[in-house]
Amino acid sequence: MISDFPPAAILILGALLVPFFKGNARNWYVILLPAAAFYLISQLQVGSSWQVHFFGFDLTFLRVDKLSKVFGYIFTLNAVAAFVYAFYLKDSTQHMAALFYIGSALGVVFAGDLVSLYFFWEVMAVASTFLILGRKTKKAQAAGMRYILVHIFGGLCLLAGMVIYITQTGSIAFNAITDRNLGTYLILIGILVNAAAPPLHAWLPDAYPEATVTGGVILSAYTTKTAVYTLVRGFPGWEVLIVVGCMMTLYGIIYALLENDMRRILAYSIINQVGFMVTGVGIGTMMSLNGTVAHAFCHIIYKALLWMSAGSVLYMVGKSKCTDLGGLYKTMPLTLIFGAIGALSISSFPATSGFTSKSLIIDGAIHEHLVWVWLVLEIASAGVFLHAGIKFPYFVFFAKDKGLRPGETNKPMLIAMAFLSFMCIFLGLYPQPLYNVLPYEVHYQAYTFNHVVAQLQLLMLSALVFFLFLKLLKRTETISIDTDWFYRKGGRLFYYIMDKALNGINRLSDRIIVGGLAGALGRLSRHGSQILTLGAMLPLWSAGGARGKELQGKIERTRAALRTGASPVGISAALATVFLIIVYLLL
Amino acid sequence: MKQKKEFDWFDRPESIKKLWIMLYAICGLLVVPDFFTHRHAHFGFDGLLGFYALLGFVSCAVLILFSKLVALVLKAKEDYYDK
C-alpha cells in the first residue's frame, strides 16, 4: 500500500534526480518533494510499519505513531518553506545535500530500531556538512571539517553505546530506555552531541554561521531537533536532562549576549531553545513531553524565520557582523517585520507560537513542584527576549545607521518569510491544530489574563533593561572563546607540546645513542676483548716471572692475535675459565 | 530633481524620546493589574505584587552583568584562531 511507504525515501530518492532538472523546473521540483512527503505523512496510519530483513536484523524503516508523525509534519513543512526561500539558488549540490539531509532526518524520526536510526543519523552528518562547505570560503571549509569530526565522535559514542545495549538486551528495538549503564549513557552522550549540549555544543555556533545563506536556514532545524525527538522517544524522565537542559538555556543566553555575528547570535539561541526542550524531556511527564514536542514544532518555524531574515540581510549586504550592520529598517522593512515576528515568537510573546508552546514546558515544571527548574526557565525566558528578541533586530535593523541601502530582498525569500510569519501568529492565536497532533492529550489554556500579564511584565521589563544597559551591550569586533578552543587552539597546543617533547626526546637520544653510545660501543667491541684479556693475563704473566721486554712482547703478541681473531686455543680456554669464575663469584 | 524623502523616524532624537516614554509607561501599566487581581501563586513568592516584572528586571540585569564579567576571560580578537 502506498501509504505504508517511508517518507524519507521520497526525499532521498528524489535527491538523485535533481541534476536532471534545469533552471526554475529544478526549484519547483525540490519544493514539490517535501510537499509530497508532507502529504504522505498525513496519510500514514498510526500503528503501520515497514520492515526489511537485513543481515539477520529486522529493520523497521517506518514506525508510525503520533510522535513520529508530528516531527514528520514539521520537518516537511519547514523544508517546503526553506526551498521556496532558496528559489534563487542555482546550485544543485546544495539542493541535493539539503534533500539527503532532510530525508535522513525523516529517516531517524520514522526509524523503529537502533540500527536504521544510526544509519540515517550518519547520513545526516555527512549530508549537512555539504551545506557548510557550499559557502566555498576558507573559513567555511575549516569549520566544515571541524563539524564533521565532532559528529564522527558523537556517532562513535552512539555506535559504541548501541552495540553494548543491543548485546545486553538482545534486541535492536528503540523505545524508552530505562536501564542506566555504560551503554545507555554512551547513547545519551551521542545524542547530546547532536542536541548541542555544552560542553559538546561548540560545533553548532562554530559551523552554522559559516554555512551558505540557505544552508543556515536548513541546518537550524534538523540536527538538533532529531536529537530532541530521539530524547523524547528514548530518554523521557531522565533527571540528568533537567540539569543539562537548564544549563543550556542559560549558556546560550550568555554567549549570545557576547556575540557580534548576527547568525552566531541565532546559533547560540538554538542552544538556549533546545535547552527548554531537553528540560521538558527530563521532567518526563505527559504535559512536559507535549511541551517539548510543541516547542520543537514552533521553534523550527520561528528559528527558520529568524535565519531567513538574517540570511536575507547577508544575501543583500554580504555582511553579518552587528558592528557592520544597522539602520536597515529604512530599506528592508519587510525583512525587518518578518524577522521581528520571529523574534517575538522566540521570546514567547503573547499572540505568537512561542507563548502557546513554551508555557507547556514551564507548566510541566510547576506541576511537578520543581521550583528551581521553574525559576531557571523563567529567567531564561526573560533572557531570550534580551539576546534574540531585541538584540538581533535592534543591532541589524536599527542602532547606528551604517549607510547601507541594499533594498528589499527577492520575492521568493519574502514569500517564504511571510508564510512562516503567518504560521507563528496562527499557532500563537489558535494552537489547537498543533495540540491535536501532540503525542498526548492536551488540557491546557495558555490565554488566561494572569498568564498574559505575567508574561508581558517579564518581557517588557527585560526590554527596559536592554535599553538601560545599552552601553554595556555595545558590540565590539571580538569573538568569544568557547569549548571549541580545546580542539582549535588546544589541538595546536597539543601539537606544540608533542613536537617539543617527542622531538626533544628524539634529539636527546640522537645525541646520546647515535653520537655517543654507538661510538663507545664500537670502541668497546674493538678494544674490549684486549682490555679483558690483558687484565686477566697480566697478573698471571707477572706471577710467572715475566718482566720488561718479555712482558712487552707477550702483550704485543696477544694484541695482534685478538685483532686478527687468531688467539691460541690455550689463551681462549684460560680466558673463558677466568670469565666463568668471575661470573660464578659475582652470582 | 528632488529625491523621495527617506523614512528615518527611528533615527530622530524626539522619536527616541517618545519611545522611551512609551516603554516606561507600558512597564508601569503592566504592574497595575497586580493591585486588583489575585494571581494564583504556585510557590508562594510568585504571587507577590509585580513579581514577574521584578524577575524580568533583575534576571536580565544579572545576565548582562554576568556576561560582561565572563567576557573579561572569553573575549578575543577576531583573528585569534588564525594566529
Average the pLDDT over A101-129 and give the result: 96
Q: How far is CA A142 from CA A137, A151, A497, in A?
A: 9, 14, 23
What is residue A2's predicted lDDT score, i.e. its pLDDT?
55
Tell me, rounded to whole angstroms, the distance of Cα A354 from its chain centroid: 24
What global pTM score does this model have? Answer: 0.86
> Partners of A58 in the beta sheet?
A53
3-class DSSP state for residue A47? coil
Cell of A12: 532521498
pLDDT tens figures, B11-64: 888 999 999 999 999 999 999 988 888 777 788 788 788 899 999 999 999 999
Nearest CA in chain B to A490: B81
- B17 to chain A: which residues are within 8 Å by CB? none
Average the pLDDT over A528-546 and give the result: 76
Nearest Cα residue to B7 out of A467, A332, A319: A332
3-class DSSP state for residue A566? coil
Does residue A583 have a pLDDT over 90?
no
* Residue A118 CB neighbours (<10 A): 22
Cell of A154: 558523537
Nearest to B63 among A254, A457, A464 (CB): A254
pLDDT tens figures, A410-425: 999 999 999 999 999 9
Q: Which residues have a Cβ under 8 Å from the Cβ of A270 and sit 6 or more positions away?
A: A196, A204, A208, A220, A224, A252, A303
Residues 355-374 on A with a CB inside 8 Å of B are: 366, 369, 371, 374
CB contact under 8 A, B75 and A258: yes
Nearest CA in chain A to B39: A450
What is residue A568's predicted lDDT score, i.e. its pLDDT?
67
Q: Which residues have a Cβ under 8 Å from the Cβ of A205 and sit 6 or more positions away?
A: A255, A259, A264, A267, A268, A271, A482
- B81 to chain A: which residues are within 8 Å by CB? 479, 488-489
**d(C-alpha A271, C-alpha A256), whole Å:** 10
* Residue A185 CB neighbours (<10 A): 16
**d(C-alpha A488, C-alpha A340), whole Å:** 35
**d(C-alpha A521, C-alpha A526), whole Å:** 8
What is residue A535's predicted lDDT score, i.e. its pLDDT?
78
Give the model's confidence band at A571: pLDDT under 50 very low, under 70 low, under 90 confident, else very high.
low
CB contact under 8 A, B52 and A330: no
3-state secondary structure A387-442: HHHHHHHHHHHCCCCCCCCCCCCCHHHHHHHHHHHHHHHHHHHCCHHHHHHCCCCC
Count A/B contacts: CB-CB distance under 8 Å: 137
CB contact under 8 A, A479 and B76: yes
- A379 to chain B: which residues are within 8 Å by CB? 55, 59, 63
